[in-house]
Amino acid sequence: MHSTDSAKGLGSKLTAICCLLLHLFLFPQPAASQTQSSPRYLQNGDNNNDRMQQILKGSGAVSGVTQLNWPQPPKQTIPNVRTELAKLNNTYLYQSAWPAKNVKLGAVTAVSFDKAGNVVIFHRVDRIWGQSTFDLKNEFQEQYRGPIRESTILALEPSTGEVQYEWGKNFFYMPHGLTVDPEENVWLTDVAMHQVFKFPPRGGNGKPLLSLGERFKPGSGRKFCKPTSVAVLDNGDFFVADGYCNARILKYSPAGDIILTWGQNSFAGVSYDVAPQNFFAIPHALTLVPELDLLCAADRENGRVQCFFSINGTFHSQYHSQLIGDRLFSMAYTPAAGGQLVIVNGPTAELGIHPEHYNEVHGFVLNMRSKQLVSKFGPNNLEFHNPHDVAVTADGNEIYVAELNPMRIHKFVHRSQAKPMSLSATKDSSNSAISKSVGEEPAPLQTVHHPSGKAILVASLMLLFAGSTFAMALLFARRRKRGCLPFGARSRRHAWEKSEGFKLGGLLDRDRNGFEKLDQQASDEEQETTTLAGAQFA
């Protein structure tokens, strides 16, 4: 009897297992969907079959099955981005009067510093990267225009914003990246030419010391396809972010020989909340962290910073925040406060597709130890439109942001270094911020003079005397109208008086040619306009 019951029990268990396996094959569970977001970039995984077998067998259920390091969704709950952004402090003050007004710029693509501390920028003058600038083969379509005729590299004095020197005429077609190395050599990338150039300090004679890539011919291997940025080590080794097409990083010797390369393009398959290591969706900018021997890359369309050991390209860490969003254009490192990354993001690429992905375009300061955002900044504490690159001084006191549209370079100063302002100056700066927000130029500051105590006393006595005189005149006028004067004086008639008595109008009746009637209707309109303007700025 017991054996019969055991057989029935075993049979029922086997039947249940078979049903379960049949259900899994007919209706496979989307186990990987928890780590997948909307299909923006596709990453074609070769391990899908192995992963499916692992899911069917159960994780760790069978010995010898290798654990696959698939990206996992964040453990924390999704924050309210708008609320969390509002909590971040603004630790940097915008310098709206910098650079000098006579500096004319096109789309500013990159910013760096020379040894003298000048702010060196790369800009496109009159060139715009549009939808027809490149064809489907990534070949530049505007060679017929020739190189940009005006200077594309400007060095600005950090205090005044005046141009100290300029160069780069008749050479570049579509500027992108700029880096000044420890020897003051200037490294530049041109996405139209698909090349990387090394120039001597301040451009030298206008001829590059080193040219990499083949002119106007995109490719891979020793060729580039729209390279974006360069970073240079103290020993002369340098890195190139071969960004828009190949999505890789290459390390070179000082002579220009390839040492190593790494990176894979994540624009194929499915996108993940946290993309896999060493995958790039446009490595857009590079920065060095000397204290840790790291090279960090802005993984633009994955909205993160990936850092690698500069000696061998091994992955070290990544930095991502939901407050930054899905697009991160550039970052710069400062050793201040134990090591910080200054980051600029960009407008989300999913506007209208995923409205739940709230996005604000700011500059951010991220602590590398805690991986937390500590502050934000922007023009007059507002948002950027389309920032492209960022640079920060070694002490962390000054930040410069290159922006494509509007075409300008921004300067920010840490609050601890900002000069104190008086109350009147503070009011003027707040009015200036309002004017900037509506596209007006701020009014020049005016000096406010405070009267002394003696001046106040004299003014009070003069007002008292004028009031007394007016009261006496009014008393005399009333008594004259009644036909009597004080102190027994008799009524006298003057030349300006008429029979009906004294009237001020009688004095004016003699000649009206110098006076015009007040237009009450125009006055009302002016008053209404003033009232509306006041309400607008309230």
Can you say how many angstroms the Cα of residue 366 is from the centroid of all Cα atoms in its chain?
14
DSSP tag of 415 = G
Radius of gyration of the chain (CA): 36
| β-sheet bridge partners, residue 315 | 308
Going by the annotation, the residues of the binding site for Zn(2+) are 176, 284, 388
Q: First CA to last CA across the chain, in angstroms? A: 92
Q: How far apart are CA 399 and CA 396, in angstroms?
A: 7
Report the C-alpha gap between 362 and 344 in whole angstroms.
6
Helix (H) or strand (E) holding 433: helix 423-437
And the tokens for 21?
């396996």
The DSSP secondary-structure symbol of 268 reads B
Domains of the chain: residue spans and CATH: 81-417 (2.120.10.30)
Label residues 348-381 b or e (16+ Cβ within 10 Å = b). bbbeeeeeebebbbbbbbbbbeeeebebbbbbbe
Residue set of the binding site for a protein: 124, 244, 300
User: Taking the CA of residue 155 as centre, how many other CA atoms within 13 Å lie in the half-sphere pointing to its CB?
Assistant: 18
Give me the pLDDT at residue 357, please: 72
**What is the pLDDT, as a whole number, of residue 512?**
42
The two three-digit tokens of residue 412, written as one number: 């920010």
| Separation CA 186–CA 203 (nearest Å) | 7
Annotated binding site: 111, 124, 176, 178, 244, 284, 300, 388-389
What residues contact 159, with CB distance under 8 A and at least 6 apart? none
pLDDT in tens, the chain (538 residues): 444 454 445 555 555 555 555 555 444 444 333 333 333 333 333 333 443 333 233 333 333 333 334 455 555 566 789 999 999 999 999 999 999 999 999 999 999 999 999 999 999 999 999 999 999 999 999 999 999 999 999 999 999 999 999 999 999 999 999 999 999 999 999 999 999 999 999 999 999 999 999 999 999 999 999 999 999 999 999 999 999 999 999 999 999 999 999 998 876 544 455 678 999 999 999 999 999 999 999 999 999 999 999 999 999 999 999 999 989 999 999 999 999 999 999 987 654 455 557 889 999 999 999 999 999 999 999 999 999 999 999 999 999 999 999 999 999 999 999 775 443 444 444 444 433 433 333 333 333 344 555 667 767 777 787 777 777 777 776 666 555 544 444 443 433 334 444 444 443 444 444 433 333 333 333 233 333 333 222 3
Phi, psi of 75 (to 5 degrees): -75, -30
CB neighbours of residue 127 within 10 Å: 20
Q: What is the pLDDT of residue 475?
A: 72
Q: How far apart are CA 389 and CA 393, in angstroms?
A: 14
Distance between CA atoms of residues 390 and 403, nearest Å: 9
Binding residues for Ca(2+), as ranges, are: 111, 178, 389
CA angle 408, 413, 415 (to 5 degrees): 145
Q: How far is CA 51 from CA 66, 67, 118, 266, in A?
A: 10, 9, 54, 19
Question: How far is residue 326 from each of residues 145, 214, 396, measured CA to CA in Å?
Answer: 35, 32, 26
Output helix, strand, coil percentages for the chain, rounded to the nearest 5.
25, 25, 50
Rounded to whole angstroms, the Cα distance separating 68 from 47 reads 8
- Contact present, 199 and 114 (Cβ < 8 Å): no
- Rounded Cα gap, residues 53 and 59, in angstroms: 10
Q: Please name which of 4, 21, 191 lies closest in space to residue 109, comparing C-alpha atoms.
A: 191
* β-sheet with 195-199: strand ranges across: 175-180, 186-190, 195-199, 210-212
What is the DSSP secondary-structure string of 354-418? -TTS-----EEEEETTTTEEEEEE-GGGS--SSEEEEEE-TTS-EEEEEETTTTEEEEEEEGGGS
